[in-house]
Structures are given as structure tokens and as C-alpha cells.
Amino acid sequence: MNFDFSDDQKQLRDQARKFLAEKCPPKAVRVVLDGKETYDRALWKGFADMGFLGVAIPEEYGGAGAGHLELCVIAEEVGRALAPVPFSSTVYLAAEALMLAGSDAQKQVWLPKIASGETIGTLALFEGTGNPSPKAIKLEASNGVLNGTKKPVADGAIADLIIVAARTASTGRDSDISLFLVDAKAGGVEAKALTNLDPTRGQAELTFANCKAEPLGAAGEGWSIISQVLDRAAVLTAFEQVGGSDRALEMGRDYALDRIAFGRPIGSFQAVKHMLADMYVSATLARSNAYYGAWALSTNAPELPEAAASARISATQAYQHCGKNNIQVHGGMGFTWEFDCHMYYRRANALALGLGSLSYWEDQLIDRMRKRNAA
Amino acid sequence: MNFDDTPQEAAFRAEARAWISANAPKQYEDELRASSLGRTALKNANILEVAKAWQKKKADAGWACLHWPKEYGGRGASPIERVIWQQEEGPFGKLSAMFIIGHGMCGPTVMAYASEEHKRQYLPPLASGEKVWCQLFSEPAGGSDVAGLRTRAEKRGDEWVINGQKIWTSGAHYSDYGILLTRTDPTVPKHKGLTMFFLDMKSPGVEVRPIKQASGHSDFNEVYFTDVVIPDSQRLGTVNDGWNVALTTLMNERMSIGAGVATGFPELFDFCSSLMLDDGPAIEDRNVRSKLANWAVKASGLKYTSMRAISALSKGERPGPENSIGKLVAGSMVQDVASYALDLQGAAGVLSGPEAEFAGRFQAMLLRAPGTRVEGGTDEIMRNIIAERVLGLPGDIRVDKDLPFNQVPTKGRA
């Protein structure tokens, strides 16, 4: 048994960490946080040059053809550095959907452009309040055009390629939903940027009005593809969350070592120490669940749906826990705009919702465990 | 990343599996499998006798104390082979409970500090379960602060005379030998005046009194020493170096990874799958599902944390203090799980015993659980270990660190 990343994969992680430490320090994140840019274009170009965008894309479509374990270690570093780039929407959602359901022609057109950084992609799924569900999809597709509104859409205002979940029938079954591919530059879609919890990542409302679209995958297969994409994205996002949890824990630990009160480092008080020990426990459980998700994702194992839900829940809990208690360890300074703590708190809470909320994934996990037990 | 055995590991696993399948006491398998925390007992047999017979059978065939050298009754196996054995032994591993302290803590300490002659004399019968050992560290005045212990050892010629009291000694009532930490110099700071011995528990002056626990059972004892004589040849380590010897013992506790810790989750999932509430099956209730999911990811997180530790072990890395999380997480989880299962039972949750709901397993778990959060290091000590030894935070300010032991205050409110 070797339930760990390989030496090569660890080397890639170190390389990504070094690259991000240099190109994406907190002050670079703040340029986007303060609204001066919608995303870090130079960093995005750097991601393409480093081969991060196409690491899991096959070589025949312009990628490195390495695999999902390699993508997991990069995701961890992206999360750790709070990279303000549309990585998750482009790579975990759009590229995964294309690889799962795209025709050869669609892959030939879009995947090389994703790998090179030329195309930003996203998935337009949600329509207001609520969790992923075929019933919640009202946007209609007929005769190759889309009509309706999606929100929130991650990176929707900067996306060139939009994968849209649309209603193609009304029988009350999952097969009512089909997926479509929209080239945002071709017109028919209006984007409006929306204020959100984590300004280092964009959210938008997209309005489709007689927007031309081509089918992605077979008609009526939309919900099944979305479910698979969400599972894959859940594992990859879990690595971002694990990276962020670790960083928030380190920040808290470092501050507890440096900050003196009552004549001693605050890290020598058990109340503070135990808070940090509990953060370590959450982060460790999340990492271990994420590793299992990585194994299931990389081998396309039948355990993937259950492993993905576990990874998602555990990582969401850990990042929220580490994010909020990092502020608590910092005391008043942790609640200033100047200190970086709030950027992790914001990201933790935004990531907790992006693929559906904690309670949605809890429900999913129990369904999936029951299915396994019944089998 | 994979869960596959190497060819060598696969061969070892096959050999272990074949031997277990041919030799294990299968008549008890179902009962052992169904036993939860607080309820490991057999209906029609004395579990201690069954455990001793299984241990002896393993020892005769070379499957006892796998990681010990052969000359001391072991197999000279690698750490990963030991883990594979535990996985294959499955429910029969629950029969090893009475030997855990002897094999996991006393044996390694004897191996590190006893004379060659003593090692050859005492270790093989310890490995085979013919002789059972206990660990005499904790005292009424020294629990988490074990170096605060007061049992005295005074030198008299070639012998030592022991007077004092130990407490929380697991299995002292059926133990043949014990390792004993004593105070030999009260005029120096507490860590510097301790000495370790091993002794025959049948020595004159040793009195074992079982403690009736809050659960109603008795797993632990008080042990009183009145002018008990131990030959100097049974000293482990040098005089006043007992604290370092004790650290060897405690470090070995962490090697016991991979055995799996009881979380109560599999039982709760089964229970909720079968329980009917007013509105339908419990497992379809939104509240129940949310609770289950939260505990599910803790249980799986612990499982895969242990898989990561085993992988590190197989690469030759030594397990470190990070393995404290298993006990910390599982201890309070099993308590919460039991409490929630009773809540689902409503007023009938108050009934316990084999006739009660789900054979009373959650009631037994609830009553045993407080002990798991204390024994072998309290939750608070586990958090200190993680904070200080994993995260590198400073130790507590210790007001008694430099005081001679006999000047350390003994009462809180004067």
C-alpha cells in the first residue's frame, strides 16, 4: 500500500508552492480584493506557462496528460495562496465537463485553448437560491437557442466558454435536463458582475436571450453529467480547501508564537493551544478524506461519489473551522482589513457554497452510503 | 497512490489469512464482531481463558508479538507486516485486549533496559500470553502529571523496599508481573528522582483492589505496596533515571497504530438504517442524515489518516505524535454517538441491558465512554501533545519544574 502522493507529484507541489509564493503573495491577492482588477492576468498567464491549466488534459488536446493526482497537488497550492484566478471554474468545471461529455470536435476546439490560458470557462448551473437539483433549472433550450437567467455563475463575467444546464423537457425526471455549450463572444448572453463574500473571485448573473448554443453530450444526459462533474470538482475543491486550512492554521500558530500577552507568548495558554490543536485535527481529517477522494478520482473508482461527498464535507468543515479560529487567535488585529485573516475566512465561506452547500452534500453522502450498503 | 500490497506483503497476507482461517476460535467470531466499546464479553465462555488460549496458539506457530525478535518470542516481522496481521486477525484481535499493555509497553521497556538473562527469561512467556504484565505508573497524586508520583523505593543492601499506592492499573488483578515507577530521591525536582523496576505481582506486601467504575464494571485497580522487596537486579535503567525509562514506555504506546479505534459510527449507521420513526425510517430524516454525515466523515477521516500513517511506516518512517488524533477524535465521538442513539430511542433509551433497544449496545457505550476520554492520556493531554510536539507551541509554564519534589505544594486550598 502507498496511500500517498509520489515523489514526482510532491516535487510538482513544491514547484507550484514556490511559484505561487513568488507570483502570488498576499499583496497580489489584494489587488483583486480591492477591486482594481477582476482577476490576476499575469498570474493566469504564468499558470498556463507552468502547464498547470492543462495538467490533467490529454496530450492530444494540448495538455500535459499527467493526470488528476497532479491536478490535486496544484489545487492545494492554489487554495493555500488564495490565487485570484478563474482556475476552479475553468479547470474543475468546464474542462472536466468537456472531457467527460464533449465530442472529439468540441474537445479539439476548446481544450487546447484552456490549456494555453486563452479561454476562461465556467459552468452555469444555479438559478438563485437553492442547491443543485434538476427541478431548480428553468432556463429553457429549444431549437438550439437558450432563454433564461443563471446566478450565481463563478467567473461568469470573464468567461469565454459557458457550459449551461438547460431544461429540454418537463416530465419531472432527471432526463429533462441537457447540457449546452455557449461561446460567450458570439453574443446572446449578457453578464452582470455581482457583489459577493469573496471579492478575490468573481460571481455573475448571466442572462441568455435567444442565445445560440450547441449540445454538449447526449440530450437528456445533462443531469448525469453534471453530477459527475460536481463530484470531480468536489474532490479538486477539497484540495483547495485543505491548502487554505493549512495556511490559516499556520498563520494562527505563528501569531500565537510571536504575540506576547500577560508576559508570555499567547501560544503557551492552553485555551489558545487547544484551539490550534483542534484546528490541526480538522485539517488532518480533511486531508485524509481528500486523499481518498484523489485516489477514487484518479482511478475512476466506483467509490468516487461517496469519496467525493466525504472529501467535500470534511474539507468544508475544516476550512470554515480554521478560517474563523485563525481570526480568533489573532484577536482584534484579526478583524482588520489590513491583516490577511479575513481573506481566508471569506474564501473558506465562499468555497463552502460554490458546489452546493454543506447540508446538500451531507444528504448526498448518506444516499450514497445507503446505496453501497444495499449493493 | 494505491492500496495494493507489494508482492512480498501479499505473500505475507496470504500466509497469515490461511493460518488464521485454519486456527482461530471461530465459534466466538460473531460475538466478537458484534461487541462494541464497553461490552466485550462472551456469553458461554470466560473471555480471559479464550484470549490466553488464542495467544498461546499464535505464539506456538510464530504469530505472537510479530515485531519482536525471535529469541524473545516474536517473529522479527516488519512494522507493515504487523499491520497486515492486525487487519487479517479482524474480530479475533479483540481477544488481545488483555495483552496490549504487556506487549505494547512493558515488553519494549524490558527489552530496552533489562539484562540479557532477564530478557530471555521473561519476554517469551509474555509474548505467548502465559504471563500477563501490567504497568504501574499512575497514582492518586499523579495522573496527567505522572512525574508527581509518591510511591517510595528505599535502598536496603542489594534490595529496594517499596511503599505507596498506584491507581488505574489495568488488569492488575490478573497480572503476573508489572513495571513500576517509583520515587527514589524526593530532594531533587520531580523528574530527576524517579527509578523504574519490574516486579512479581505475587510478592508479599502487594495488594490489588479492583475499582468499581462509573460504568459498574471493573477493568482497573488500586495497587497497594507495603514493604514490598524488589532485588536491585530488577531495576530498569539507572537510579533516578526512571523518567527517561518511562518515556520509552510511553513512546511505544504510539506504535499501536492501525489497530483501529472504536468510533461507534458503524453501529449508529446500522441502527438508523433499521429504526422507524413516526414519519418513516430514521435514515430518511433530515436531522438524522446531517448528524450521520458529520460522524461519517470523522470516521472515514480517521480511517484514511491511519492508512497514511501505515504508508509512512512501510517506507521506514517512525510514527510520531500526530497519531494522538485517533484517540482524541474517537473518544468524544463515541460518547456523542451513544448519546444521540439514546435520544432517537426516546423515553425507552433509559432502558439498558441485552433486552433493551439494539441489545443495549449504545447504553453500554455511553456508560463506558467517559473512561476512554481519560485513560491513556486525557483529551487535554492529547491536545497539549499535538500543540507542543506537532505544532511547536511552547510548553506550559511549570511552577514545580525547579523545586525539590518535597517542597511541591500538595493541597489546592490550604
Interface residue B268 vs chain A (CB under 8 A): no
Q: Which among A113, A227, A104, A230 has a CA at the least distance from the CA of A161?
A: A113
Q: State the cell numbers at B406.
A: 518535597
CA atoms within 13 A of residue B151's CA, in its CB half-sphere: 31
Contact criterion met (CB below 8 Å) for A365 and A310? yes
Q: Grid cell 491549466 — which residue?
A: A53
Least reliable range by pLDDT among A80-84, B8-12, B395-399:
B395-399
Give the integer Cα–Cα distance in Å for A56 and A96. Answer: 9
Lowest mean pLDDT among A140-154, B36-50, B209-223: B36-50
**Residues A93, A167 within the same domain:** no
Residue A2 placed within a domain? no
Question: Of A172, A194, A220, which marks where a domain is finished?
Answer: A220
pLDDT of residue B319: 74
Please report the beta strands in A257-305, taking only residues with DSSP state E, as ranges in sequence order: 260-261, 264-265
Task: Report DSSP state, residue B75.
Answer: -
Residues of chain B by 3-state class (helix, strand, coil), percent to 5: 50, 15, 35
Residue B258 binned pLDDT confidence (cut-offs 50, 70, 90): very low
User: What is the residue-wise DSSP string for B12-65?
Assistant: HHHHHHHHHHHHS-GGGHHHHHT--TT----SSS-HHHHHHHHHHHHHHTT-SS
Grid cell at residue B353: 441491558
Same domain for A263 and A320, yes or no, is yes
Range of the domain at A278: 223-374
In a domain, residue A57? The reply is yes
- CA quadruple A253, A254, A256, A259: dihedral, nearest 10: -170
What global pTM score does this model have?
A: 0.93
Tell which of A89, A119, A149 closes a domain: A119
| A113: three-class secondary structure by DSSP | helix
Say if residue B225's pLDDT is above 90. Answer: yes
Cell representation of residue A6? 509520489
pLDDT score of B195 more than 80: yes
Q: Which residues contact A8 (CB under 8 A, 6 or more apart)?
A: none
Asked if B4 has any chain A CB less than 8 Å from its own CB, the reply is: yes
Task: Using an 8 Å CB-CB cutoff, list chain B residues near A362.
Answer: 289-290, 293-294
Q: Which of B4, B283, B290 sits opposite A359 (nearest CB)?
A: B290
Other beta carbons less than 10 A from residue B157's beta carbon: 7
Please give the grid coordinates belonging to residue B23. Answer: 486456527
Weakest mean pLDDT among B30-39, B199-208, B387-396: B30-39
Beta-bridge partner residues of A181? A163, A214
Q: B-chain residues within 8 Å CB-CB of A2?
A: 1-2, 311, 314-315
Residue B221 grid coordinates? 485497580
CA distances B401 to A270, B239, B383, B395, B397, Å, are 18, 20, 21, 12, 9
Per the structure block, which three cell numbers stand in for B179?
A: 513495571
With a cut of 70, say whether residue B254 has pLDDT above it: no
A255/A253 Cα distance (integer angstroms): 5
Of B273, B293, B387, the CB nearest to A313: B293
Taking an 8 Å cut-off on Cβ atoms, the answer to whether B391 and A281 are in contact is no
Mean of pLDDT over chain B: 92
The DSSP secondary-structure symbol of A332 reads G
Taking the C-alpha atoms of residue B32 and residue B201, their distance in angstroms, rounded to an integer, is: 30
Question: Between B2, B304, B311, which is nearest A292 by CB?
Answer: B304
Q: Is B103 helix (H, G, I), strand (E, B) or coil?
A: helix
Q: Does one domain contain both A264 and A212?
A: no
**Per-residue pLDDT band at B320 (split at 50, 70, 90):** confident
Separation of alpha carbons B297 and A362, rounded Å: 10
**ipTM surpasses cut 0.90:** yes
Range from B129-138, B200-209, B373-382 carrying the lowest mean pLDDT? B373-382
Report the length, in residues, of chain B. Answer: 414
All structural domains of chain B: 7-127 (1.10.540.10), 133-253 (2.40.110.10), 265-377 (1.20.140.10)
Question: What does DSSP assign to residue B261?
Answer: -
Residue count (chain A): 375
Contact yes or no for B290 and A277 at CB 8 A = no
Of the three residues A185, A220, A255, the one that is the final residue of a domain is A220
Q: Is the pLDDT of residue B414 over 70?
A: no
The partner residue sitting opposite A4, judged by closest CB among B5, B311, B325, is B311
Is residue B175 scored above 50 in pLDDT?
Answer: yes
Structural domain includes residue A325: yes
pLDDT of residue B38: 59
**Rounded average pLDDT over B217-239:** 95
Which of these, A313, A306, A311, lies nearest to A368 by C-alpha position?
A306
Q: Return d(Cα B177, Cα A295) in angstroms, integer.
A: 47
Which of B301, B314, B394 has its CB closest to that of A265? B394
B304: Cβ contacts below 8 Å, ≥ 6 apart? A3, A288, A289, A291, A292
A1 assigned to some structural domain: no
Q: How many domains does chain A have?
A: 3
On whether any CB of chain A is under 8 Å from the CB of B339, the answer is no
Q: How far is B399 from chain A (nearest CA, A)?
A: 14
Supply the CATH number for residue A67's domain. 1.10.540.10
Q: Which helix (H) or strand (E) holds A124?
A: strand A121-124
Give dist(CA B385, CA B326) in Å, integer. 13
Percentage above 70 pLDDT, chain B:
96
Q: Is the dihedral of CA A68, A70, A76, A80 positive or negative?
A: negative
CA–CA gap between residue B37 and residue B59 (Å, rounded): 27
User: Are the beta carbons of A369 and B269 separated by less than 8 Å?
Assistant: yes
Claim to verify: residue A238 and residue A365 sit in the same structural domain: yes
Q: Which CATH number do you get for residue A229?
A: 1.20.140.10
| Residue A98 within any structural domain of the chain | yes
CATH of the domain at A201: 2.40.110.10
Short-list A157, A174, A156, A176, CA closest to A166: A176
Low-confidence ranges of chain A (pLDDT < 70): none
Question: Could you count the other beta carbons within 10 Å of the beta carbon of residue B394?
Answer: 16
Would you tell me the crossing angle of helices B265-274 and A358-374 to the nearest 10 degrees? 80
A-chain residues near B307 (CB < 8 A): 1, 3, 288
Beta strands in B159-275 (DSSP E): 159-167, 177-183, 194-200, 206-210, 221-231, 235-236
Least confidently predicted of A150-154, B71-75, B96-100: B96-100
Dihedral over Cα of B340, B344, B350, B353: its sign: negative
Is B301 in contact with A278 (Cβ distance < 8 A)?
no
Q: pLDDT value at position B257?
A: 45
* A248 and A211 both lie in a single domain: no
Pairing between strand B133-136 and B177-183? Answer: parallel
Report which of A62, A216, A52 is spatially closest to residue A144, judged by C-alpha positions.
Answer: A216
Domain-located, residue A12: yes
| Cis upstream peptide for A152 (omega within 30°) | yes
Q: Is B69 helix (H, G, I), strand (E, B) or coil?
A: coil
Query: Residue B191 has which C-alpha cell?
Result: 523528574
Q: Which three cell numbers stand for residue A178?
A: 441537457
pLDDT above 50 for B133: yes
What residues pair up with B154 in beta bridges, in sequence order?
B161
- pLDDT surpasses 60 at B39: no
Least confident of B276-280, B357-361, B374-378: B374-378
Same domain, A341 and A270: yes
Interface contact B307-A373, CB threshold 8 A? no
- On the question of pLDDT at B255 being above 60, the answer is no
**CA gyration radius, chain A:** 21
Q: A113 and A143, same structural domain?
A: no
Q: Kindly identify which residue of chain A lies nearest to residue B84, measuring between CA atoms.
A: A1
The predicted-structure confidence for B289-309, as pLDDT tens digits, reads as follows 999 999 999 999 999 998 898
**Nearest Cα to Cα of residue A242 among A200, A277, A279, A278:** A279
Q: Considering only CB atoms, which chain A residues are within 8 Å of B12?
A: none
Same domain, residue pair A230 and A368: yes
The values of phi and psi at residue B67, to 5°, are: -85, -5
Contact B304, B326 (CB under 8 A): no
- In this predicted structure, what is the pLDDT of residue B396? 86
Q: What is the pLDDT of residues A3-61, one digit of tens each?
A: 999 999 999 999 999 999 999 999 999 999 999 899 999 999 999 999 999 999 999 99
Cα→Cα distances B146→B104, B231, B375, B396, Å: 19, 24, 13, 15
Answer yes or no: do A201 and A297 share one domain. Answer: no
- Residues A201, A252, single domain; the answer is no
CA dist B208 and B175 (Å) reads: 10
Q: Are A37 and A140 found together in one domain? A: no
Beta bridge partners of A279: none
Residues of B in contact with A257 (CB under 8 A): 392-394
Q: Answer yes or no: do A369 and B386 touch at CB < 8 A.
A: no
- Whether residue A147 lies inside any domain: the answer is yes
| Domain identity same for A154 and A88 | no
